[in-house]
Amino acid sequence: MTEDSCSKKKKIKIRRNNVGNRKISYKWVVTSIIWTFFISSFMQMIQAGLMSRVTLLVACLLLFSFIFIGIIFDIIGVSVTATSEVPFHSLASHRVRGAKEAIVLIRNADKVGNFCNDVIGDIAGIVSGSATTAIVVMLNSFSTGNHEFILSIVLAGLVAALTVGGKAIGKGIAISNCNSIIFMVGKIISFIKPVKDKNVK
d(CA 69, CA 198): 33
Asked if pLDDT for residue 104 goes beyond 90, the answer is yes
- Give per-residue pLDDT as tens, 105-131: 999 998 899 899 888 888 888 888 888
Q: What pLDDT does residue 161 have?
A: 94
- Give per-residue pLDDT as tens, 152-187: 888 889 999 999 999 999 999 999 999 999 999 999
Q: What pLDDT does residue 35 have?
A: 80
The H or E element that residue 179 is part of is: helix 178-192
d(CA 159, CA 166): 10
End-to-end CA distance of the chain: 57
Asked if pLDDT for residue 24 goes beyond 80, the answer is no
Torsion of CA 166, 167, 169, 170, to 10 degrees: 110
Q: What pLDDT does residue 2 have?
A: 46
Domain coordinates in residue numbering, the chain: 27-192
Query: CB within 8 A of 109, min separation 6: which ones?
Result: 80, 81
Q: What pLDDT does residue 175 have?
A: 93
- Give per-residue pLDDT as tens, 42-95: 877 877 777 777 788 888 898 899 999 999 999 999 999 999 889 899 888 888
